[in-house]
Amino acid sequence: MYSTADLPTEPIYNEPIPVVQTWNLCKVYRTGFWMNKKIESLKDCSLTIYQGETFGLLGPNGAGKTTLLKILLDITKPTSGKGIVLDKQIGDRRVKQRIGYLPENAYYYEYLTAWEFLEFTAGLFQIPRAVQKKRIIELLNLVGLAQSTAKKKKLKQYSKGMLQRVGMAQALINDPEIVFLDEPMSGLDPMGRYRIREIILSLKQQGKTIFFNSHILADVEQICDRVAVLALGDLICQGSLDELLGTSNSYHVTIKGGDSEQLTPWLTNLTWEHNRWHGQLQKEPAEFISYLKNIDAQLVRMNLDRLTLEAFFMQQLRERGIDFSR
């Protein structure tokens, strides 16, 4: 016989655990000669970020993204509202050991090598010397910097992309539970953006929580679990990509090669443009890709037939009469 004591006490499905929550955060700056003008950088911002997710905060320049990030990190005090980070009130010093941060315009000691800079950062976290070397080697491998380069080359000789990778390494030196990244891909060339994107994806696989600001929407769409849109201090919307963009079983595909007779059984709305076939696929993608090999055709692009994040973002701004052309 079994009693109720024999039943499992843990739920079968674990509820997501919030690691960042805010309630009605506001930030008002005073400006003008007499400091009598008010600028609302953030207005009644309430959001939730869950453990292990990659969360993207989107918005045009001046939207309030960096202001929100600095409030969460206790660099800037809110005018009103409240929030928690890792179950502690914003500003609790005990949280600082558990978070990592890469600012948009980070300052580096140019006369140091990357290795020396990471040793300095590790010392700020009081990481034992015996642990520092192993940790630095792991991070250099993660961000794709050779040990020899990190030990010999001064930071003033680094490119923007290399400095961004060093900054990413310092943000992870304390093995944080949550990583805050302010415009991590700003100013990078396509290869630099690809490298940072791959680093973020590897952190996601490790179970890290990642919160970053960005206006490069194509990158956000590839790596984020959930996003929020901020404009002129207002949090317009937040949710998963499926919740915001919708779900679809249809794919828009671009094909090189083949002919209409071969493709018509598979694609609807088939058109020919710029030497490519374009159409909607509503069948199994894997079977279609195998079929293309048989007819000596090539798949150029395949996207879910729904709004892109960029189109959704622009739509949200237009609906609220926000001029994003400035």
Residues 268-316: tens digit of each pLDDT: 888 898 889 988 887 888 888 888 888 888 888 887 777 788 888 888 8
Choices 3.30.200, 3.30.70, 1.20.120, 3.10.620: CATH for 251-304: 3.30.70
Is pLDDT at 55 greater than 80 in this prediction?
A: yes
Is pLDDT at 166 greater than 90 in this prediction?
A: yes
Averaged pLDDT, 137-144: 92
Q: How far, in whole angstroms, is CA 232 from its chain's centroid?
A: 20
| Dihedral (Cα; 192, 195, 196, 201), 10-degree rounding | 160
- CB 232, CB 67: distance < 8 Å: no
For 60-81, give one letter per residue: b (16+ CB within 10 A) or e: beebbbbbbbbbbbbebebeeb
| Helices within the chain (DSSP H only) | 65-72, 114-124, 129-143, 147-152, 160-171, 190-205, 217-223, 241-245, 260-263, 285-294, 309-319
Residue 1: its pLDDT value, please?
A: 43
Residue 209: its pLDDT value, please?
A: 96
Is pLDDT at 126 greater than 80 in this prediction?
A: yes
263, burial (CB in 10 Å: exposed 0-12, middle 13-18, buried 19+):
buried
Type and span of the H or E element at 181 = strand 178-182
Choices 3.40.50.720, 3.40.50.300, 3.30.70.20, 3.10.290.10: CATH for 51-79+89-245: 3.40.50.300
Domain ranges across the chain: 51-79+89-245, 251-304
